Structure 1
């Protein structure tokens, strides 16, 4: 009788354990600034990520396991990023993502490289959701790290291709932030655009503190005095919005070629300042690309969140690729997922084919150049401004797929 009771109790315990395991979630941690000036960017990224995850969960999740999003505030600090990464892992996260500022991404990649070496039985993966510093898939590349957006050099290669046909632009001003991302992009512009257009005269080259300037009027005055026909900037968030606001208020008629003007705040600044057709986006894509699936996705996302989704394609691409990789692997174990993510082919939110390059874990896909102006009634506008994106060029993937410089250590 006692033996029967023991067996019965053991069976109940086993069933309880199996039930608990079945209810367990696949935890995905966002480690980004959820306080301070950059919080508005993190909050938009979170909306895009949750929307993509909700779609996957509604279809059964990853191999039957629901994805759970956890958020951690790194306060825009590399040191805090490492602290929050430890907390995320303690909470059970298996994918750690950071998107805002490449210095934070570097810190996370370095932390995870050391963590995985010390903890081979509980490894985690890094997703770079929006940083665009080429070092992330170059000198900092890691077997357990994946970048889901085009890097600065790829975008600059696309911009150089576009500008090669704009011989009306001969005087250009550079405006970029301090830090690795801003200065790496600045150098790639000088190199690639300079090679494509050796006739261009660089009439100014300014560097400013990152996310600390509240009035860019003095910088705009210098640009205006230089006679620049165009400005190229990799600035983002509040910096870019304030620059464009000052440009409009000063009557600056130069064209702006930007990398992040699809992000929060910039569309409102452009529309309010009357910069009609003067601001161009050199980016993975935007809502102005003519594609039925993109339009349907944007309409659905905007109805749910009252904002646009295509400004942050990395999250949608990451979740789409992760879902395909998990299905191919037949498991959610980290090493199996990493192996399946290498070379995975999928479609971006813009309707473009993409794949994850195995050599450096860099997404390879097309990019777009679009300009911002008033849209026709019923068109996709941004931030309720009545203004939106009109695509002027799609740059093929093979034009911007620069050779890999990664020397990856593989397990």
Structure 2
């Protein structure tokens, strides 16, 4: 009899545990948790979890705690679709991918098909950092939202800034293979070229994505070209290695980058002595004068020893989701989508932002900052003693471009 009671109690415990698990609002990360890009995913996960912990500590969304699930897509578009199905089977309502636009495209395509076939089991895609304008342009979807400025918006900001840098007349382009790198390259040629027709493109190189281990030959070509500046959309290990090679090669050119706030790049820049030579063209950074940003950074750094401001897509996604759930009074997918369209919130940088209803693209300001040896007590990056010094804030209206989205709504 006692054994029967024990078995019955165990069954009740399992049932209660299952009920508790179902009571959470599941948010799935589908990104490369293995391979060279894993260091980027790790930071994204940490920022996401920190943002979610803040919301959960305040009661969650409509009484539900947000639960983060992780799935390794191994940097593969095909694997992204496989893991998306696993995430949905595990009960995820939001599927987020951040690393590589090709993976984001694959996820959006998969979810569009899934939602058509399963009207009672629909999910939402969050783009945390893919950067490609097509996500909210030709590939836009009613079920997908992007929480970072896209490459065209950032390039518009760069072009605006370079109108004041008439000392730069010779520029070298360096970008990776793949949709994001090549889309950025083209937008730079068009937008910067239009804003600064006097600029001479003295080089234009494309390299394999996340496969080069020594960028010395590329640096030699840039040096020989006489370039005063390099514009690159490289990220992760690629960017860290190319900046390391630039420092070691004694390249004097300035670098205008889209992802130098990410992991590994600050250490490479500091070790190579690239003081004031690397500029970040990004949503923002820890050098922005914002009390709210510094408070968030201080708390995050105390817990993780890392910088959070390099991944604003995570904080913006969770802030927008929290406010949308409150506005809708519901955690159901259809209600959340309706509330997310046009939702207004404040980014981690202390800037007003909203999700444009026409294409689900975040609209907010951007920053231009340079990496320098900072005074003691200033927010630095990766324990280097170096950090970001903001040189320009580009208003949202300067970088807000017309949408090409032709959204199909249910």
Q: TM-score, normalized by length of structure 1?
A: 0.95
Unmatched segments (≥5 aa) in structure 1:
1-11
2: CA distance between counterparts of 1:197 and 1:162? 10
Give the aligned partner of residue 409 of structure 2.
410
Give the conservation status (yes or no) of the 8 Å contact 1:160–1:196.
yes
Q: CA offsets per residue over residues 259-291 of structure 1, 9 Å max, x none? A: 000000000000000000000000000000001
Q: CA offsets per residue over residues 226-284 of structure 1, 9 Å max, x none? A: 00000000000000000000000000000000000000000000000000000000000
Give the aligned partner of residue 40 of structure 1.
39
Structure 2 SS opposite 1:195: helix
1: CA distance between counterparts of 2:137 and 2:348? 25
Give the aligned partner of residue 324 of structure 1.
323
Structure 1 SS opposite 2:93: strand
Paired residues for 1:215-294 under 5 Å: 215-294=214-293
2: CA distance between counterparts of 1:260 and 1:382? 14
1: CA distance between counterparts of 2:243 and 2:249? 10
Structure 1 SS opposite 2:197: coil
Which moved further from structure 2: 19-28 or 337-346?
19-28
Alignment: residue pair count: 397
Give the aligned partner of residue 214 of structure 1.
213
Paired residues for 1:1-400 under 5 Å: 20=19, 24-400=23-399
2: CA distance between counterparts of 1:322 and 1:74? 24
2: CA distance between counterparts of 1:329 and 1:123? 17
1:24 is displaced (CA, Å) by 1.0
2: CA distance between counterparts of 1:240 and 1:163? 22
1:23 is displaced (CA, Å) by 6.3
Structure 2 SS opposite 1:176: strand
Q: CA offsets per residue over residues 180-220 of structure 1, 9 Å max, x none? A: 00000000000000000000000000000000000000000
Q: CA offsets per residue over residues 84-120 of structure 1, 9 Å max, x none? A: 0000000000000000000000000000000000000
Unmatched segments (≥5 aa) in structure 2:
1-11
Change (3 A) 1:21 1:34: closer
Give the conservation status (yes or no) of the 8 Å contact 1:129–1:147.
yes
Structure 2 SS opposite 1:286: coil
* Structure 1 moving runs of 4+ over 2 Å: 19-23
Structure 1 SS opposite 2:245: helix
Give the conservation status (yes or no) of the 8 Å contact 1:48–1:312.
yes
Q: CA offsets per residue over residues 35-57 of structure 1, 9 Å max, x none? A: 00000000000000000000000
Structure 2 SS opposite 1:48: helix
Give the conservation status (yes or no) of the 8 Å contact 1:49–1:316.
yes
Give the aligned partner of residue 3 of structure 2.
none
1: CA distance between counterparts of 2:115 and 2:308? 33
Structure 2 SS opposite 1:88: helix
Q: TM-score, normalized by length of structure 2?
A: 0.95
1:298 is displaced (CA, Å) by 0.5
Structure 2 SS opposite 1:93: coil
2: CA distance between counterparts of 1:102 and 1:175? 18
2: CA distance between counterparts of 1:20 and 1:314? 31
Change (3 A) 1:22 1:381: closer
1:71 is displaced (CA, Å) by 0.3
1:20 is displaced (CA, Å) by 3.1
